[in-house]
Amino acid sequence: MKTSQESMKDIGISLIQKRGVEINDIVEIVYDLQKSYISGLTKATCADAVDRVLGKREVQYAILTGVELDRLAEENKLSEPILSLIKKDNPLYGIDEILALSICNVYGSIGLTNFGYVDKIKPGIIGILDKKGKEEQQCHTFLDDLIGAIAAAAASSVAHNAVL
């Protein structure tokens, strides 16, 4: 399979959109994370940062992997015990967070701090995904962490660019 970096980025974006997340949902989280630290911050700056993050190969592969596992769990196509662990978002499983951390690592320690914060307060679309995963026949065990990590990494990128 021959896939260029650009088309892998497009595949990643279309996968998260198919799972109910718009890029703008991520931009909103980035803006909220950084607005109190950077005066005059614009949503366009945050959107550029999200776009940079989505352009990274590590991020694209994490999206491909996590979304696939969520979808397979939703369709009961995994075997036990991993099916139940992912479907029920078992709090001790933790591999969803570990996968998402590979995204945060791209932008250093501010990314890690932001990721922990986002995971705790579940702002915007992350809270919605978390709720849908619990109440409906949907599985977003990996997706909520992936989106949190993309937002955290983009916030970190915004912060780094601002102090330069």
With the CA atoms of 77, 82, 87 and 88 taken in that order, what torsion angle do they form, in degrees rounded to the nearest 10?
160
What letter does residue 41 receive in the DSSP assignment?
Answer: -
Whose CA is closest to 110, among 70, 43, 163? 163
**Binding-site string for Mg ion from residue 1 to residue 40, where x marks contact by CB under 5 A and - marks none:** ----------------------------------------
Among 145, 149, 152, 154, binds Mg ion (CB under 5 A): 145
**Binding-site string for Mg ion from residue 100 to residue 139, where x marks contact by CB under 5 A and - marks none:** ----------------------------------------
CB under 8 Å to 66, separation ≥6 — which residues? 96, 99, 100, 142, 143, 145, 146
CB of 117 to Mg ion, least distance (A): 15
Using CB under 5 A as the binding rule, whether residue 70 contacts Mg ion is answered as: no
Closer residue to Mg ion, CB minimum distance, 48 or 65: 65
CB of 9 to Mg ion, least distance (A): 23
Q: Rounded CA gap, 110 and 152, in Å?
A: 8
Q: Rounded CA gap, 25 and 7, in Å?
A: 22
Using CB under 5 A as the binding rule, whether residue 74 contacts Mg ion is answered as: no
CB atoms within 10 A of CB 109: 10
Closer residue to Mg ion, CB minimum distance, 82 or 162: 82
Closer residue to Mg ion, CB minimum distance, 49 or 149: 149
